[in-house]
Amino acid sequence: MKKIRFGVLSTAGIAQKELIPAFKRAALAEVTAIASRNEEKAREIAQKNDIPKSYGSYEDLLGDPEIDAVYIPLPNHLHKEWVIKAAEKGRHILCEKPAALNSSEIKEMEEACLKHDAFFMEGFMYAVHPQHARVKEIIASGEIGEVTNMRAAFTFFLQQPFGSIKMKKETGGGSLYDVGCYGIHSIRTILGAEPETVQTHAVIDPVSGVDTSQLSHMTFPNGITAYIESGFHSFRRSEYEVIGTKGKITVPRAFRPDWHGGEGLVIIENDSVTRTERFYADQYKTEIDQFAAAILEKNGDTKAQFKQSYLNLKVIDACLKSIKTNKKEIV
């Protein structure tokens, strides 16, 4: 069976902890090279993970003719640059979220990928877990009535903020970029709608200038409201709730079911019954295999992928503007 040969741009923690192990479980892809600006570190990680090649520069990895695709877990402010450079080398691209720092960066990235026939996907791995498709089925069935509100929260306690890239404004730090983007993505995806307005209240770190927590209120054209919470101050939560006129759906392991062995829970409540449905998936592996399958089957829709990235970043743009103005902003 043919496998897509991946190069990993950087030795970032998410690559070492989650994605490289997931590549080993994947059926349709494998990591054959890794690069770091620290050549010794790249060599060390390659040896540790049985990766055949290591490079001391990202350019050298992109120049390897045996690489089909790249996984980009670089800091947020470098996504645009290296997506474009990878596309220019004809490499397909799986890029960590958020795809860019703002929606205006997306057009140039999209143009490069389309010009060089490079398939692009933003790494919202949570979305491939089957619990979310089930939530949409339940909503469509009318079991909880008309949806009136949705809430999403993704928080954790940042143990060592000093020196963390999550606390560096110039590299795209802050809780909104880091985990708030999941809440925004889930609300847009589950509701199948785009918000009209957003108002964001945030706690800003006085030293770094990044938001260490934020709460955003969104309104939609159909009268639905939504709340997104993110932060570095609280016990970890990875959840959303959809409230309707007849009941509600709670998904307590929405974004990181892998914290619970891949088990997702969908809890449905109404006046007469409460039930829990369980779903299992290896979401990082599934993400990789879906990406690889799109390349192998030549059916990847790069335009559609970038459209979703653009729309998600439009909301983030409005949230960041609202933090500055302390006013409700139009998305």
Q: How many CA atoms lie within 13 A of 33 on its CB side?
A: 26
User: Domain ends where: 59, 91, 125?
Assistant: 125
Give residue-wise pLDDT tens across range 257-290. 999 999 999 999 999 889 999 999 999 999 999 9
Q: Are 109 and 23 part of one and the same domain?
A: yes
The answer to the question of residue 290 being in a domain is: no
The answer to the question of residue 295 being in a domain is: no
User: Domain ends where: 98, 125, 152?
Assistant: 125
Per the CB < 8 A criterion, the answer to whether 226 and 180 are in contact is: no
The answer to the question of residue 297 being in a domain is: no
Distances (CA, A) of 232 to 153, 161, 270, 312, 315: 12, 9, 33, 21, 20
Q: Are 144 and 19 part of one and the same domain?
A: no
Q: Are 198 and 322 part of one and the same domain?
A: yes
Give residue-wise pLDDT tens across range 117-155. 999 999 999 999 999 999 999 999 999 999 999 999 999
Kindly tell me the burial class for residue 134, based on how many C-beta atoms sit within 10 Å of its own C-beta (0-12, 13-18, 19 or more): middle
Per-residue confidence at 247, pLDDT binned at 50, 70, 90? very high
Q: Are 146 and 241 part of one and the same domain?
A: yes
Q: Are 105 and 175 part of one and the same domain?
A: no
Indicate the pTM of the whole model: 0.97
- Structural domain count, the chain: 2
Mean pLDDT of the chain: 97
CB neighbours of 249 closer than 8 A, spacing ≥ 6?
Answer: 135, 138, 139, 144, 241, 242, 266, 267, 268, 269
Domain that holds residue 280: 127-285+314-330
Per-residue confidence at 233, pLDDT binned at 50, 70, 90? very high
Per-residue confidence at 1, pLDDT binned at 50, 70, 90? confident
Residue 256 reports pLDDT greater than 90: yes
Decide the pairing of beta strands 29-35 and 53-55: parallel
3-state secondary structure of 40: helix
Q: Are 323 and 233 part of one and the same domain?
A: yes
**What distance in Å separates the CA atoms of residue 107 and residue 34, rounded to the nearest whole number?**
28
User: Domain ends where: 125, 150, 170?
Assistant: 125
**What distance in Å separates the CA atoms of residue 274 and residue 268, rounded to the nearest whole number?**
6
Residue 48 reports pLDDT greater than 80: yes
Q: Are 104 and 138 part of one and the same domain?
A: no
Q: Are 116 and 239 part of one and the same domain?
A: no
